[in-house]
């Protein structure tokens, strides 16, 4: 079978990069840096435009900040605590951007020793970029963001702000996880736990953020003197903040599928296909001798469990060896026993 010119070009490119590993690694790292910058920018827009647009804009519109969760949420809580202690003249956005960096330092150490060195390096880069963007990408600095905030608030209120904020910050985290780094903070803890338990990340981040949201409501109420109306409003904001966290977790687990397991069943007439798959994939396989119900011919049923990141590569190998093979892919809810996941660098 003649190959398409595009396939030939792709093969030449892959062979060239295979022969020049330093260039391949450099291009990959450059791509991760671009993704890190994009992730940081998306988070800053989501946080400053929908979650906590700044005192001036909130006051002018009679609106309220939402608890964001994570390290940015902890930063919000600390700023509220300082205001409760009498520091009323704090520039909230600047304080949050500085605290965001400082609080990430011990968590970055956890990433270095518990996850991987390259993971930690690009997480640190992302944290620094996010701290800078949080201080620069503000509605008061960029009028267009203020207009977007007003449009969303006027046409959907806090519900729309929570959903948009969740999508933006969830997309930021998901992009990071997709390329094996994180946005820092609680994401490092969630990623660490998910790797150890070999499961999805978003639900752990959602669980870890509940305490932050509760403290946010209590301190907001305390700053208002525990007035009944303000207390009710503070805890009502927690409901919207919970919706924000849920939206964020759903976006993360929809895009980041590193720990999602799939069962692949291959029906083939090639006797050695199972051995080739085991040699090229870091997983075992089960081969069963069977026969076709219609043709009566002998076939081999090969079963292998892989992560969602590996399934496309597996299918390419199968089609290369047997273009007539019948392949089924089934999503798994639970996998017991030993399962190999490539380590994060």
Q: What is the pLDDT of residues 101-126, one digit of tens each?
A: 788 788 888 778 777 788 888 888 99
Q: Where are the beta strands (DSSP E) in 246-325?
A: 261-268, 286-291, 298-307
Three-state DSSP class for residue 270? coil
Three-state DSSP class for residue 179? coil
Residues 66 and 165: their CA atoms lie apart, in Å, by 9
| Residue that is last in its domain, among 255, 279, 295 | 255
Task: Say if residue 224's pLDDT is above 90.
Answer: no
Over residues 10-20, mean pLDDT = 60
| Residue that is last in its domain, among 255, 276, 301 | 255
| Residue that is last in its domain, among 195, 229, 255 | 255
pLDDT in tens, 264-282: 999 998 888 888 888 888 8
| pLDDT at res. 327 | 92
Lowest mean pLDDT among 16-20, 172-176, 255-259: 16-20
Burial class, 114, CB count within 10 angstroms (exposed 0-12 / middle 13-18 / buried 19+): middle
Q: How many domains does the chain have?
A: 2
Q: If pLDDT is split at 50, 70 and 90, which confidence band does 206 have?
A: low
Residue 270 lies in a domain: yes
Q: Where are the beta strands (DSSP E) in the chain?
A: 261-268, 286-291, 298-307, 326-331
Range of the domain at 214: 7-255
Q: Which among 195, 174, 62, 176 has a CA at the least distance from the CA of 129? A: 176
- How does DSSP classify residue 260? -
Residue 60 lies in a domain: yes
pTM given for the model: 0.69
């Amino acid at each position: 079978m003649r190959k398409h010119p595009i396939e030939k070009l792709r093969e030449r490119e892959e062979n060239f990069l295979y022969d020049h590993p330093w260039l391949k690694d450099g291009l990959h790292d450059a791509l991760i840096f671009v993704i890190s910058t994009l992730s940081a920018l998306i988070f800053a827009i989501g946080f400053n435009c929908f979650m906590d647009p700044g005192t001036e804009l909130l006051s002018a519109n009679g609106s309220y900040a939402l608890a964001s969760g994570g390290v940015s949420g902890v930063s919000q809580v600390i700023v509220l605590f300082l205001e409760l202690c009498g520091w009323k003249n704090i520039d909230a956005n600047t304080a949050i951007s500085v605290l965001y960096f400082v609080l990430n330092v011990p968590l970055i150490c956890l990433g270095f020793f518990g996850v991987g060195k390259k993971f930690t390096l690009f997480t640190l880069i992302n944290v620094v970029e996010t701290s800078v963007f949080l201080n620069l990408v503000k509605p008061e600095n960029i009028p267009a963001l203020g207009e977007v905030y007003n449009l969303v608030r006027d046409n959907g209120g806090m519900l729309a702000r929570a959903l948009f904020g969740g999508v933006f910050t969830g997309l930021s985290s998901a992009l990071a996880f997709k390329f094996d780094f994180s946005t820092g903070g609680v994401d490092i803890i969630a990623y660490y736990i998910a790797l150890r338990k070999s499961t999805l990340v978003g639900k752990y981040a959602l669980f870890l953020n509940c305490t932050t949201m509760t403290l946010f409501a209590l301190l907001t109420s305390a700053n208002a003197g525990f007035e009944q109306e303000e207390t009710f409003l503070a805890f009502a904001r927690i409901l919207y903040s919970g919706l924000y966290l849920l939206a964020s977790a759903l976006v993360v687990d929809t895009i980041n599928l590193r720990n999602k397991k799939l069962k692949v069943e291959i029906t083939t007439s090639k006797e050695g296909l199972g051995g080739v798959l085991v040699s090229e994939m870091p997983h075992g396989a089960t081969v069963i001798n069977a026969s076709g119900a219609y043709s009566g011919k002998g076939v081999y049923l090969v079963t292998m469990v892989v992560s969602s990141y590996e399934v496309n590569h597996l299918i390419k190998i199968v089609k290369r060896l047997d273009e007539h093979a019948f392949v089924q892919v089934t999503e798994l809810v639970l996998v017991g026993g030993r399962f190999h996941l490539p380590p994060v660098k």
